Structure formats: structure tokens, C-alpha cells
Structure 1
Amino acid sequence: MPELPEVETIARALAPGLVGRVIVGVDVPDAKVLAGPKRRADFAAMAVGRTIQSVGRRAKLLLLTLGPRPQVPGDGPAVLAFHLKMTGRFHIAPPGAPDPDRARLLVRLSDGNTLVFADLRRFGTARVLTPEALSAWDFHASLGPEPWDMTPQAFEEALGRKSTRIKAALLDQTVIAGIGNIYADESLFAARIRPDTPAKDLTPAQRQRLLKAVQNVIAAAIAAGGSTIRDYRTPDGVEGGFQNHFQVYGKSGDPCPACAAPLTHAKIAGRTSTYCRKCQK
């Protein structure tokens, strides 16, 4: 699943081709993608006529901020929200390009281009909401702070209340938003903390070291364009580069890059966690 760095990379890459364009049409080859409104006609009516004002992200959600519809008196702004789930991908297709076979949603733009949302496994979703409805959406409202918005004190307090293992706490989007399996493993290794340590048992020094590690790892992954394991590509079709810098993720049995002891793995919160028994205490 694309995590924070991948969605941030996608948002930055799409923005130049989307901001300032007007949505002139919406085609939905696969209605399963629509999470609200769920009828094709209602979804299109909510989106068409709006100007894309910005492209951003919250946690693992891609968010397009849309202006009011001029054809609707007294209309307000809206947000087009995508959850990529496992295999969601975007690109901007030029005029006349054939629609891809796996396209789930096609947003036609005033410059003749098309924003294409494709999704091999068909788990991704799209919503058009008012800002108020976005704030009231249970999933969005439950999200914890972004890594750079999490203060040391808030991080300590959040972990101090958690009896779950620290890897599970990092994957909990209500604690800190946007972190998935890759960046949890890499952050815990950088902080020299075992993934199965109960979160509440970490010392204040460990918690502060972990927060800094999370912030540094996420920043480095964004700078590298995210991580490509299988399906992820940028909107330009380019693979991410951070997988070339993995220290532990997916490397069970390989020598630890710090001490050369064999890396090991365990199942935590239903996910495989790779770590070093010697370096991570």
C-alpha cells in the first residue's frame, strides 16, 4: 500500500498538471471506486464545473481542493479525496490517448488532458465531499497528527497510553498518520528499538529518538520519490528510489548493516517485521 512518502510524491507530481484546470467531465468505468456519492451521475454532478485549486495529502489520502461550481448559485468548495489502498495509481493522459484497461475513474480537464485513476486490485476509492463532510468523515476525523506536526510531548503521551507493541502503535493511524509497514520497520531500526517492545515501556529518551527517526526516514523517502516494491509508480511512470536505501525492511536473513548479525523477523499486528536482535533493544 502506498504510504505517506508515496502519496506525497504523487501529490507533488500531479499538482503542476492539475491546479487551475476545470473539471469538465467525469467517466466512471468501474462504479466500485465510488465511495460517495455512489451513483455515477451524482458523483459527476458534484465534481463537474469546479476548478482544481490545490493538490495535497492527509496521511495516505490524496486530496484535490475544488472551487465552487459557477453553475450552482451559492455553491461552496469541495474536496475530491482518493484512497489508493493497495494498487491505486495516477497519471495525466494527453488529449486523444486511449483510456487504460484498468482505469477506474477518469477526470476530464479543461485543457484536454485526463486525470486517470487506475487500480489493479480495485480496492481504491474516490469521494467528492464538502469540507464539512470531509471533517466529519469518521476515517478522516480519526487520523492522528502528521509526523512533523507531532510534538515530542504529544508523542510521549500517545505512546504512554498504549499497551500494544510499538510496531502496532506506529501502524495505528489514530496515533500518527501515514506510516505503514516499510517506514515503521526502517524507523524502528534507526531508533534501535525492537518492534515487539510494548509502547508504554519505552523510556522518554527512546520515544524522542523514535519520533526523530520517523521524521528523518519519512523525509528521506520523500526525497527519493517513495519506495517501489511491486506496483507503485509516480504519475510519470517512474519507480521510487528509497527501496535502494532500505536498512532492514524485507531483508530477514541478511546481515545487519550496523553489526553484521543476521536480521530476523516476526509477525506483529498481522504484518512481517524485520529487525536486528543485537542492535534493537
Structure 2
Amino acid sequence: MPELPEVETIARGLAPLVVHRTIASLDLRYTPIVKDDPDRFARKVPGHVITRVWRRAKLLILDLGVDFHLVFHLKMTGKVWVPGQGIQPDKHTHLIFDLNDGFRIFFQDQRKFGYCALFDEPGLKNWSFFADLGPEPLEMPTADFIEIFQQKKGRIKALLLDQKNIAGIGNIYADESLFMAGIHPETPGWSLGRQELARLHSCLQEVLCQAIDAGGSSFRDYKNALGYAGMFQEKFLVYGKKGCSCPRCKTGIETRKVAGRTTCFCPECQKLPNPR
């Protein structure tokens, strides 16, 4: 699933291509991809100027004028991109926005788990999924990060994945930041001291910024706004490295399930503390 760096990369790449352009028409090829009444969606969207492209957590948002927000959740295999001249939609292209100057926006999703929705301003603010999102990790002060996690009883990996605690973090960047901080993924949040949490926040911000600079991480499906793969997967320290040597101590990387997700860590560099 695209996480914060991937969606941020898409938003930054999409903005100069589509902002100030008008959606002239749309082609809805698979109606369940829209979490709305299809007829209302097809009637309301055309004619609006795209005024802003931005990200909140793992959501990609296009502002339409001052009245509406076009929201995409990419889930596991969704892609929102601007194809080059002559590129035709394939069977996984479920929604096409035709812009006023010949540009198009494709929404593709091989597994059809992603969706698009149209909200007005009150509707977006009152949408429970949006309203319940935690703060953005690249924007929050360290003191706020510490306050959120130091009283939590859950395991720190699970706490990082909980979008109500902090927005946009998924499996990749939780594993990478915990390794950088030297924290075992099953460590209870309450057992971490202020210095440990401050270090984790710093490492989380560092790995997110590195990933954004590299255009995100690509495996099977993720592509940026122009259809190109990201490069951060070439810099992974532990994620997906089961059986490989730790880049620090050469111990074999291990995996276990945490919060239902396969979790990669070094048992030597990330020791689980004894319970108090």
C-alpha cells in the first residue's frame, strides 16, 4: 500500500501538471470505484478548476474550486497519474478525467480496493475517516510525538501503524524508523523514555524525507504522477530483508507478526527490553 512518501510524491508531481486546469468531462468505467452516487459524481465534478493537489495521511486530495474536494484512497494497488501523449487506458483504468487542454488523469487499480469520493468542505471535515486522523509526522513537534506515545500500552510498531495516533505511516517506514532508532517493534510504548521517543521521531522524519527525495518505494504497483517507479526500495535497511545481514552488526534479520503485519528487525540492534 502506498504510504506517506508515495502519496506525497504523487501529489507533488501531479500539482504542476493539473493545477489551474479544468475538468471538462469524465469517463467512469467501473462505478464501484466511486464511493458516491455515480450520477451525482458524474454531474458534480465536470466544470470545476483544480486549484490544489495535496496529501493528508495516505489520502490524495484534489481541491475543485472552493467548494469540493476529490479524494483518492489508493489502498494496495491504486495509481493516479497523467499519461503521456498516445497512452491509452488499460483494463485496470476505472476512472478518467479529461482536462480542458487535452491532459488526462487516470485512476487505475488492479485489485479494485481503492476508491474516489467527492466531498464538500463540511462533508470532508465530518467524514469519520478523515476527522479521526492523527497529526502529520513531518509537521508535529517532538514534544507532541512524545506525549502521544509515552502513555500508550500497545506495542510501538502497532502504535505507529494506528492512523489515529499518527497519520500516514505503514509497514515499510515503521520498520525502517524503528531499526534506525534501535527500538524493538514489540516494545510497549509506555516503556520508552523521552529520549528514546525523541530519537524515534527524529528517525521517522529522516526516513520519510529520504523516501520522498527518492520518489517513494516501488514493488509491484506503485508509480508516481508520471508513471515512473520510486527508488527508495534500494535503500531499505531491514524491510523485506529477512535472512540478510544487518547493515550494522551483520546479525541475520528476523521477522515476526506485529499488529498482523510481517515485521522485519535485527534481534541484536533492536533488543526487546525486560518488562519492568
Q: In structure 1, how many angstroms separate the alpha carbons of the residues matched to 2:7 and 2:32? A: 21
> What is the distance in 2 between the residues matched to 1:48 and 1:238?
28
Given the alignment, which residue of 107, 128, 143 partners 1:153?
143
Q: Would you say the 8 A contact 2:150–2:194 is kept in 1?
A: no
Q: 1:95, 1:114 within 8 Å by CA — same for their partners in 2?
A: no
CA distance in 2, matches of 1:194, 1:249: 14
**What is the identity, as a one-letter code, of the residue corresponding to 1:43?**
F
Q: How far is the alpha carbon of 1:98 from its aligned partner? A: 3.0
Q: Tell me the SS of whatever aligns to 1:209.
A: helix
Measured in 2, the distance between the counterparts of 1:82 and 1:113 equals 19
Residue identity matched to 1:44 = A
Asked if the contact 1:94–1:112 (Cα under 8 Å) also holds between the matched residues in 2, the reply is: no
Displacement of 1:99 after TM fit? 2.7
Q: Does structure 2 conserve the Cα–Cα contact (< 8 Å) formed by 1:87 and 1:231? A: yes
Q: 2:57 aligns with which of 36, 56, 59?
A: 59
Matched, 1:224 2:214: yes
Match of 1:163 in 2: 153
The worse-fitting range, judged by mean Cα deviation, of 143-152 and 263-272 is 143-152
What stretches of structure 2 of length at least 5 have no aligned partner?
Answer: 272-276
Give the TM-score, by structure 1 length: 0.93
- Cα separation, 1, equivalents of 2:100 and 2:22: 5
Matches within 5 A, 1:231-246: 231-246=221-236
For residue 152 of structure 1, report the CA deviation from its aligned partner.
1.8
1:28-177 to structure 2, matched below 5 A, reads 28-36=28-36, 38=37, 40-67=38-65, 77-93=67-83, 97-177=87-167
CA contact (8 A) 2:11 2:225 kept: no
Taking only the aligned residue pairs, the percentage that are identical comes to 47
User: Greater shift after overlay, 95-104 or 165-174?
Assistant: 95-104
What is the one-letter code of the residue matched to 1:185?
A: D
CA positional deviation for 1:97: 4.5
Aligned residues: 271
Structure 1 residue 95: Cα displacement: 6.3
Query: Unaligned 5+ residue runs, structure 1?
Result: 68-75
Structure 1 residue runs of 4 or more that deviate by more than 4 Å after TM superposition:
94-97
How far did residue 218 of structure 1 move?
A: 0.2
**Residue 225 (structure 1) shift:** 0.3
Letter in 1 for 2:83: A
- Does structure 2 conserve the Cα–Cα contact (< 8 Å) formed by 1:266 and 1:274? yes
Structure 1 residue matching 2:82: 3-state secondary structure: strand
Are 1:3 and 2:3 counterparts? yes
SS of the aligned residue for 2:89 comes to coil
Q: Which residue matches 1:18?
A: 18
Distance 1:275 1:102 in 2: 35
1:207 correspondence with 2:197: yes
RMSD over aligned CA atoms reads 1.2
Distance in 1, Cα, partners of 2:34 & 2:200 = 38
Task: Give TM-score scaled by structure 2 length.
Answer: 0.95
Partner of 1:73: none
CA separation in 2, counterparts of 1:95 and 1:275?
Answer: 44
Q: Residue 238 of structure 2 aligns with which residue? A: 248
Compared CA separation, residues 95 and 231, structure 1 to 2 (3 A): closer
Aligned partner (choices 156, 160, 173) of residue 183 of structure 1: 173
